[in-house]
Chains A and B, each alone.
Chain A
C-alpha cells in the first residue's frame, strides 16, 4: 500500500494529526508518522513510481534514487528523534510545524520534476518560519519575518529559474543543468540562498538561535540539507560551488570564533559544514557526491545532537551565552557526554561519523589533484575542532564554575540524544554498511593508518593551539556584524528617512514631483515612438519572460522589504 502514498504526504498527514488530536493521541502521531514515512521511503522502487497530471505537464510525485532515499531517510529519522526530544517541552503547534517542515523536506527528496520540487520547497519555507515564530519572543517574531522574506525571495528567484528552464527546454524533469545561462543561474541562486551561501549566509545565524531550544533542533536539519540534495541533483560538477563552499567553510569558522551565544556558534558551524558539502558537489565526481551525501547524513545527526545538548542547557539554566555558562559537567554528565560526542563527530575525530564521511570529500579532492583545496579543507578541519569541537563543550561544561547546578536531561531527551550518539559511533566505527547505501559503489577505506595519524596530529595540535590561545579568545558580550547589516540597519534607516521625507513634505510638493515625473515619461514616450501611438516604442514592446519575471521579482521584493522594515 505504501508504494502509492508519497512519503512526504504521510509525514504531512502526521503533522495534521498532531495538530488536530489531543495529548496522548498526538504523541502516537509523533512516533508513528516518521515510522510509516520510513517504511514508505524504503518500499518505493528506484525510478519514477507515481505521476499526476497538472495543466499540460506530467508531474512525477515520486522519483527515487539512492541519494534521494538516503536524504529522505535521515529527514524522517530526524523528525522522529526530534519529536521524542521535544514532545514534553514543545507546544503542539511547534511539533506540528516541525513535522510539516520535515514533510516538505521529504517531499523535495522524492520530487521528480521541478514543479513538485518547488511546491515542497515553499512548504518548508512556510513551516520553518512557523517553527521560528514558536520561539514566542519579540526577537523570534522579528527574526522570523526576516527569515520569511529572504526565503520567499529565494523561492521566487528559484521559480523564475524554473519557469525559464521549462519555457526554453520544454522539460520539467529534474536533471543536471549547466550553469551557463540566465535560467540556470536563477535556479542556482534560489537553491544557494537555502544553502546559506554567501552573501546571505547571515539568515541562518540570525534566525535559528531565536527559535525555542526544541525548535532549533528541527531547524538545524532540513533547509540547508535539502539545498545540498538539490545541488547534487541539478548542479553536480559546477566549479563555482568549490569556491563558494570554501568561503562558507572559512566564514563559519571565523564568525563562530567571534561569537558568544552557544546556539549561534552552532549555527555558524552549520554554514561551515554545509560548505564542505557544497565543495564536494562542485567537484562532482562519484567519490565527491558520495562524500556530500554521506556527510549530509552524518552532519544532520551530530548537529542535531549538538543542538539537543545545547537545548537541555538552555532549558535548565535559562542562559545561552558562553560568558555566563561553565562547569555544568558536574550535574549534567549525560548532556555533557552527548554534547562532547557531537563535538568530536563534527570535528571528524577518528571513530566518529564525521571522520568516515568528511574524509571522503578530502579524498575526492586529492584524487582530482586539487592540492590547495585539500590543504584548505585540512586547515578547516582543524578550525572546526577549534570553534565547535572544543569551544562548545569547553565553555558550556568546563572552564570556570558558573555556580549553577542544573538537573540533567529528562528521560526523553536523554534517549533522543542517546540514539544519535549511537548513530555517530556506528557510522564512525563500522562505516561499510552505510557506504553500501551511497549512490555510487565505493571501496573507500577511511582508516588508512597514515591518514589516521595525520588527522590525530592535526586535531590534537589544534587543541593545543586552542588552550595556548585562550587568553586571545576571551568572551565578550557582543554581536558580530554580518551582511544582514545591509537589511537590518542600512535598509531600515534608508526607509525611515524616505518615510520621514514623504510625511514632512507638503502634499503639493509630492504632487508637483509626480506631475514632473509624469511629463518626463510622456516626453520620453513621444520621443521613442515619434508621436505615433500605434508603435509601442522601447518601453512598450514585449519583453522576454525572463526579463519581465526578474523585474517583477525586484519590484515585489522591494515592496516586501520596505513594508516590513
Chain B
C-alpha cells in the first residue's frame, strides 16, 4: 500500500472516530459541571479552538524568543 493511501485511510478512520464521539453525545447527559456549556459538541469545539489558540500564541512568541542553538556560548558544541 502506498504511503498516500495509508495516510488517506488514517484520515478516514480518524474522521469516523471523531464523528462517533459527537454522535454518542446525543445519548449521554451532563457533559461539563456548568450549565452554560452543556450544549452539544462543546468538548469538540473547546478542544479544537484551545489548541488552535495555543499553537498561534506559540508561533507568535516563537518569532520573539527563538534563537540559534549556539546562542549561549557554552552550547557551541551542540
Residues in B neighbouring A366, C-beta threshold 8 A: 33-34
A464–B10 alpha-carbon span in the complex (Å): 12
Q: Is A458 an interface residue (CB 8 A)?
A: yes
Residues in B neighbouring A481, C-beta threshold 8 A: 65-67, 71
Measured CB to CB, the nearest residue on chain A to B73 is: A492
- Nearest Cβ in chain B — how far from A481, in angstroms? 4
Beta-carbon contact of B48 and A464 below 8 Å: yes
Beta-carbon contact of A457 and B51 below 8 Å: no
A463–B51 alpha-carbon span in the complex (Å): 9
Chain A 411-458 interface residues, beta-carbon cutoff 8 Å to B: 448-451, 453-458
Residues in B neighbouring A472, C-beta threshold 8 A: 55-56, 59
Chain B 17-55 interface residues, beta-carbon cutoff 8 Å to A: 17-18, 21-22, 24-25, 28-34, 41-52, 54-55
Our pick among B22, B33, B43, B54 for the contact of A253 (Cβ within 8 Å) is B54
Beta-carbon contact of B66 and A479 below 8 Å: yes
- Nearest Cβ in chain B — how far from A261, in angstroms? 9
Q: A139-B75, A466-B51 are in contact. Are A461 and B69 (CB under 8 A)?
A: no
Binds B, one of A240-248, A332-340, A376-384: A376-384
Q: Is A142 an interface residue (CB 8 A)?
A: yes
Beta-carbon contact of A382 and B34 below 8 Å: no
Beta-carbon contact of B52 and A449 below 8 Å: no
Q: Is B58 an interface residue (CB 8 A)?
A: yes
A142–B33 alpha-carbon span in the complex (Å): 48
| Cβ proximity bits A491-527 to B, threshold 8 Å, 1 near / 0 not | 0100000000000000000000000000000000000
A28–B45 alpha-carbon span in the complex (Å): 54
A479–B62 alpha-carbon span in the complex (Å): 10
Contact-residue size bin, chain A (C-beta under 8 Å from the other chain):
35 or more
Q: Is B1 an interface residue (CB 8 A)?
A: no
- Chain A interface, >50% SS class: helix
A96–B28 alpha-carbon span in the complex (Å): 53
A481–B61 alpha-carbon span in the complex (Å): 10
Residues in A neighbouring B14, C-beta threshold 8 A: 463-464, 467
A257–B44 alpha-carbon span in the complex (Å): 21
Residues in B neighbouring A450, C-beta threshold 8 A: 28-31
- Nearest Cβ in chain A — how far from B9, in angstroms? 14
Residues in A neighbouring B75, C-beta threshold 8 A: 139, 479
Beta-carbon contact of A457 and B47 below 8 Å: yes
Our pick among B32, B49, B68, B77 for the contact of A478 (Cβ within 8 Å) is B68
Known: A254-B57, A464-B48. 4 other contacts (CB 8 A): A139-B78, A454-B31, A473-B55, A479-B71
Measured CB to CB, the nearest residue on chain A to B75 is: A139
A375–B30 alpha-carbon span in the complex (Å): 16
- Nearest Cβ in chain A — how far from B12, in angstroms? 13
Residues in A neighbouring B24, C-beta threshold 8 A: 453
Beta-carbon contact of B43 and A456 below 8 Å: yes
| Cβ proximity bits A348-389 to B, threshold 8 Å, 1 near / 0 not | 000000000000000100100001001100110011001000
Beta-carbon contact of B74 and A454 below 8 Å: no
Our pick among A453, A456, A462, A480 for the contact of B66 (Cβ within 8 Å) is A480
- Nearest Cβ in chain A — how far from B48, in angstroms? 4
Q: A457-B43, A461-B44 are in contact. Are A469 and B51 (CB under 8 A)?
A: yes
- Nearest Cβ in chain A — how far from B28, in angstroms? 5
Q: A457-B22, A461-B18, A469-B51 are in contact. Are A254 and B34 (CB under 8 A)?
A: no
Residues in B neighbouring A492, C-beta threshold 8 A: 73
Residues in A neighbouring B34, C-beta threshold 8 A: 366, 371, 374
A492–B55 alpha-carbon span in the complex (Å): 33
Measured CB to CB, the nearest residue on chain A to B56 is: A472
Q: Is A138 an interface residue (CB 8 A)?
A: yes
Beta-carbon contact of A458 and B46 below 8 Å: yes
Residues in B neighbouring A374, C-beta threshold 8 A: 32-34
Cross-chain pairs A/B with CB under 8 angstroms, 20 sampled = A138-B74, A142-B74, A253-B54, A257-B58, A258-B61, A378-B32, A379-B54, A453-B21, A453-B31, A455-B43, A457-B41, A458-B44, A460-B44, A464-B48, A465-B48, A465-B52, A479-B67, A480-B65, A480-B66, A480-B67
Q: Is A547 an interface residue (CB 8 A)?
A: no
Q: A371-B34, A465-B52 are in contact. Are A254 and B43 (CB under 8 A)?
A: no
